[in-house]
Amino acid sequence: MASYEAVSTAALIHLVFRISISPWPPKDICSPAPNLGAWIFTFALLLLATDVKMYPNGFPHLPYIIQFLVETVGSLFIVELATSVVWCGLESMTHQLTRLLLLFWGMDGDTYQALEYWILLVPTTAVASIFLYIMMRAIISEDLIYGKPQVTVHLNKEVVRDMVSKCRRKRRKNI
C-alpha cells in the first residue's frame, strides 16, 4: 500500500500545480463539461493508489525518501494515465450522449449551446460519483464505514492443549 504522504504529494502535483509527467497529456479538453466530475474521478483514483503496493518487499534497506519518490511517481502515473485515457473517454461519451438525447427530445440547438456547461454538470458528476462509490466500497472495508467492532478471540495455550488431549483420549477409548 502506498503511503498517504506519497499519494497526497501526487494529488498536490496533479491537482494544484497541474504538472504532468506523462508523455500523453490531452492536447485539448475532453468536453466542455465542468471540472467537478474530473476532480471526483481523480479523488477515486487517489483512493485506488493508496491501496496499490508500489514498493517491492526486497528493498527495505533503501532510504525512506526513495520509497516515497517511487510511490509518488507511481501514484502520478496511475492518476494521469487513468485521467487522460479513461476519464477523457467517459466524459466525451457522456457529452455526446447527453447532446444527442437532448437534441433528439426537442431541445433547441441555441438553447443547448447556451446552457451546455451547466447541462453537462449533472451527468459527468453522476458518472464520477458512481465510480467513487464503487472505489470506496471496494477499498474501504465496511467495518470502517459502519463502525462494526472487530471480534478477536485470544485462546490460552494450556486450555487448547488440554482440550486437544481430551479429544485424543476419547478417540482412543472409542477405538
Domain contains 152: no
* Type of residue numbered 151: V
Rounded distance, CA 155 to CA 110, Å?
Answer: 74
Domain contains 162: no
Domain contains 175: no
- Name which of 34, 156, 166 is nearest 98 in CA terms: 34
As a whole number of Å, the CA-based R_g of the chain is 26
pLDDT for the residue numbered 148: 57
Distances (CA, A) of 43 to 25, 121, 123, 134, 144: 19, 17, 17, 12, 19
Most confident of 1-5, 65-69, 166-170: 65-69
Looking at the predicted structure, is the pLDDT value of residue 25 above 80? no
Domain contains 159: no
Mean pLDDT of 59-80: 89
Give the count of alpha carbons within 13 A of 67, CB side only: 16
Domain contains 134: yes
130: part of which helix (H) or strand (E)? Answer: helix 109-139
Domain contains 36: yes
pLDDT (tens digit per residue) in 102-130: 999 999 989 999 999 999 999 999 999 99
The answer to pTM > 0.85 is no
Domain contains 78: yes
pLDDT for the residue numbered 155: 74
Domain contains 156: no
Q: Which domain range does residue 54 map to?
A: 4-146
Looking at the predicted structure, is the pLDDT value of residue 146 above 70? no
pLDDT for the residue numbered 15: 86
- What domain count does the chain have? 1
All three cell numbers of 103, joined, read: 437534441
